Chain A
Amino acid sequence: MNQNNQQIAIDLNRISKNYGEVTALHNVSGSIYDNEFFTLLGPSGCGKTTLLRIIAGFETVTAGDVLLYGESIAELPANKRPVNTVFQQYSLFPHMTVAENVSFGLQMQARNRTRDRSFIKQRTAQMLELVQLESFAKRKPAQLSGGQQQRVALARALAPEPRVLLLDEPLSALDLKLRQSMRVELKQIQQQTGITFVFVTHDQEEALTMSDRIAVMSEGQVQQTGDAHSIYTNPSNLFVADFIGETNKLDGVLLENNMGNGTCRLKDGTVLSCTARSDIATDANGTLCIRPERLAITSVDDPAAVLSGAIERFHFLGTDTQVVARTSTSEELLVRVQNTAANQLGLQAGDRVGLVVDAASATFLDQ
């Protein structure tokens, strides 16, 4: 996907939001592209929901501007913005039927007062078909399951053809199985409709599986923006490395940095090749991050082994086993081993092993 040729749907321009003394957002900038599934990911309290509510028009900015397809919407009230929201809680109007809920936005839109009723009816039916709830049109929301209610909420928000759809943790109230099938459904609906989705979640798995791009947020700031692969494999700082997936963190010093290819020395004196942002200076203290699945177990005297440790325990996780090892400087190392027939290592707790890692999988971060 070449993003340089893409139209920008939402442009966030140095947005800050304070509640009295508390800073919820600090100088947040970024672009969300047209027809993109964009996710704001972060722990609770990181400002992701505040940012979504600012785009929706439920919160005002303290400073900065929000542009929707090039036009500032920061001053527009929520009911004048061509964006719709799917809320975390089931927010369906309890006194209306499913069909009445879905057609609500269409009926409120000023331009539909000139359109005939058959258009609204047809569009409502089309939306219910999209979320596969045609036969539920006459039911009240209380007669639907949680998953069905959330699908109606989706249909209701999509019916007025918003330019951007905002989703505020819409799956968090559902159980695991339903959540997983809804992920697939949401992604399909986004591709079918071609509407830009801005999705807020604290669930990294949700973010990684659905998003075209992810913005990882923490403490009111965007820490890194990129596609799932680049955020996972090239975290730009320790927070991102730590928040997304599991990571082994080893303290060390960067000995040399040659345009991103460097070597570092760990506390126990081990020297190994790694990657590092090219702006990190030589002799900088920092942390070497290695994903557990990038470490391979070998015998302790294998010349390819860069690290070594003693196995402490095993966690059986179904498709893989997590091996916990401890280095001579008593730092914990997690190793993921796939449970294939070839990987029956026959190891026991207490065994000393060597660990292999290639330079591309060891990332040195300075903060």
Chain B
Amino acid sequence: MAQASAGIKKYPGFLAVTLVCLLVLYLPLIVVMVYSFNDSASITRWGGFSFRWYHEVFHSAENAKFKEATWNSITIALMAAIAATVIATAAAIGMIRSGQWRGKASSFALINLPLMVPEIVTAVATLIFFSAIGFTTGYLTILIAHCVFCIPFAYLPIAARLQGVETIYEQAAMDLYATRWQTFTKVLLPLLAPGIISGFLLAFIISLDDFIITNFVKGAGVETLPTAIFGAVKQGIKPNIMAISTLMLMVSVCFVTVSYLVGRLGQK
């Protein structure tokens, strides 16, 4: 490993390409973060450091709209992540602990297909589906759509963890008189916990972050944070958007860090 990376470092332009990539990826984020503390109303001119826009996010006239959108986002993300994690755990056990059966490979593909399908296609299809069965679009349709597209994201870390848990533990539990349910709750679940927590956090972030599908199925009047921000930006970018974006970024960073730490804890 050390040798291979040393070799890569010797390629001409390695440093330049790396810097360009990092710059393109992270410079806009840094600009947004920095300008969220800008005292000026301009989004391009620096007018000194202040918490003005953070104050405005929580206290301005727009505040009510964003507050409701945030509440919707968090409740939907929480419920969708819980539902997706439960379904993904069941799916992972079904796929990995069931031996060989016909259609196993296609089931695996079906579970993970949503990751490959362009989101806009899913969004249009979901909207058509809801209107075909006569569902009024709103909070519930967002929740259902989120549950569905979160499943593959929750599935991946759980399945990866389960593959690393040897069946001998479950056999040992059964041998020691545990019922199937006791084997699951007392042995398999604790061993799977790092994967389940990772899966849950990933699903939560994916749901919190989603824009395209949400925008299609949300209906009138119901907003999540991403759609509310998009709506506000359409009327011109105000620095308070930068403050909200920075707050969202912090939440995401926290979750991803926790997910990573839990995953590493599980490997020990």
Contacts and interface: CB of A to CB of B under 8 A. Distances in A.
A57 B190 CA distance: 25
B168 A89 contact: yes
Interface size class of chain B, counting residues whose CB lies under 8 Å from the partner chain: 10 to 19
B29 interface: no
Contact of B182 (A77, A93, A108): A108
Interface stretch (B132-140, B150-158, B173-181, B212-220): B173-181
Contact of B169 (A77, A83, A85, A91): A91
A325 B40 CA distance: 102
The prevalent SS among residues of B at the interface is: helix
B195 to A, nearest CB: 14
B171 interface: yes
A95 B191 contact: yes
Interface string A81-125: 001110101010111000000001100111000000000000000
A79 B168 contact: no
B168 A87 contact: yes
A110 B191 contact: no
Given A87-B168, A91-B169, A79 B190 contact: no
A100 to B, nearest CB: 10
Given A91-B168, A91-B169, A85 B175 contact: yes
B177 A160 contact: yes
Given A93-B187, A94-B191, A108-B182, A87 B172 contact: yes
Contacts of A160: 176-177
B172 A85 contact: yes
Contacts of B176: 79, 84, 104-105, 108, 156-157, 160
B172 A95 contact: no
A84 B168 contact: no
Interface of A: 56-58, 77-80, 83-85, 87, 89, 91, 93-95, 104-105, 108-110, 156-157, 160
Interface of B: 166, 168-169, 171-179, 182, 186-187, 190-191
Closest 4 CB pairs between A and B? Answer: A105-B176, A108-B177, A91-B172, A108-B178
